[in-house]
Every structure is written in structure tokens, then in C-alpha cells.
Amino acid sequence: MSGIDIMKERRSIRKFDPDHTMPEEDLQEIIEAAIEAPSSWNLQHWKFLAIQSDEKKQEVLPIAYNQKQVADGDVTIAVLGDREANHNAEAVFQAAVDAGDMTEEIRDKVVASIHGAYDNEGFGHNEALINASLASMQLMLAAKEKGYDSVPMGGFDGAKLREACNIPERYEPVMLIAIGKATGDARQSFRFSWEDAVIRDSF
């Protein structure tokens, strides 16, 4: 399928084959595609916590309000947004210097500008949510291309997930994404037409 076909075919699935096991190489390919998502200043504001063992799935299940797909999918990914992604700046922009794409003087100015932006209250939190969400969508599309289905979930107790998975304060749980082999077809959901969705120039 083309990229647009994959976008149109992807639907949220809540019933997965609990006996299917995703090969590790498939998971790696899906994650590698997700990390190609765009991000502000290329800071890559994400970590992917892969919940795969039956024991851990059962522990997370009540944290996700007993949404069965958490236990039945091949893997549930907790997408974490990095609230302190400015600390990635030195490595990101040093790579640009090493590649000859940027001078050290420009690197220093850009890195200082990034740290200055993160001094603003709430800035890191907002950036974490926005950029981790971009990677989340890319992850689900990559899963579809590999023959898997998925469902994003915002219904979970973030504090309990943090405790159960020992998530550092730096990272904000943004969503859970269950991925697996669907059993049955997805319910077709209503979508507004493009004419309803687009406003030209101004309201």
C-alpha cells in the first residue's frame, strides 16, 4: 500500500490475538520508523517503553482501567515525552558540527537559545506532548505497514504507570499504544469531509 493508503486503512483495533508473538525484528523496525518523526530542533522528545512480558501486561492492565487490548496485544508501548529534551541539544548539534553542517559558533548560539526557551514555565511539558505525539502517529503507521494493528489509549493512571515502570520524572507518559494482530474487522468510524475540515485563509 502507498503511504496514503496506509493512513486511510489504519483503524483503532481493540481485539487482538493473544497467542500471537511479534518477532523482535518487527518491533525494532517499527520503532526505528517512529524515531524518524520530526521534532522541534530535532531534539527527539520521546522514549518508547515496550511492555511485552505477560507479567508486566497484567500489572499494567488495571492501571489502564482494564482495557483488554493491553494484555492481548503483542506489545503495549508507553510513549513518553521528554520534558527536558533541551539536554539532548549538545549531542544533536555536535553531530551537525562533526558533519560539517554547522560551525561551533552557531552550535553554541542555537544550544543557548534552546536552553533559554526551556527556562519558560510549562515549555518543556508542552513540547514533550506535541513532539511525542508526532512519533506516536508515525509508530502506528509503521505498525500498519508491517501488518499489525494498533490502538492509542489516553485512559490510564499516569502516576501509577510511573510507579509500576519506574519512569523518571523527566518523562511524561503521553499515551499507551497496544499493537498486535487483529481478530475481526475494525468498525468503520465517521469522518468529516475535507470540505468540513478545511478553512481557507481565515474563519
User: pLDDT tens, 139-163?
Assistant: 999 999 999 999 999 999 999 999 9
Q: Residue 59: is its pLDDT beyond 90?
A: yes
What tens digit of pLDDT does each residue of 4-23 get? Answer: 999 988 999 999 999 999 99
**Residue 199 resides in a domain:** no
Q: Give backbone dihedrals phi and psi of 68, rounded to 5 degrees, phi first.
A: -60, -25
pTM (2 decimals)?
0.94
Would you tell me the crossing angle of helices 123-145 and 24-34 to the nearest 10 degrees? 130
- Find the domain containing 111 and state its range: 11-187
What tens digit of pLDDT does each residue of 103-128 get? Answer: 999 999 999 999 999 999 999 999 99
Q: Residue 184: is its pLDDT beyond 90?
A: no
**Residue 195 resides in a domain:** no
Q: What SS3 class is residue 171?
A: strand
**Residue 77, domain CATH:** 3.40.109.10
**Residue 66 resides in a domain:** yes
The DSSP secondary structure of 72-108, one letter per residue, reads HSSEEEEEEEETTGGGGHHHHHHHHHHTTSS-HHHHH
Domain count of the chain? 1
Grid cell in block for residue 162: 510511573
Grid cell in block for residue 55: 507479567
Q: How far apart are CA 145 and CA 5, in angstroms?
A: 10
| Strand pairing category for 75-82 and 149-153 | unpaired
Number of Cβ atoms within 10 Å of the Cβ of 105? 9
Q: Residue 187: is its pLDDT beyond 90?
A: no
**Residue 1 resides in a domain:** no
**Residue 154 resides in a domain:** yes
**Residue 196 resides in a domain:** no
Q: What SS3 class is residue 71?
A: helix
- What mean pLDDT is predicted for residues 77-81? 98
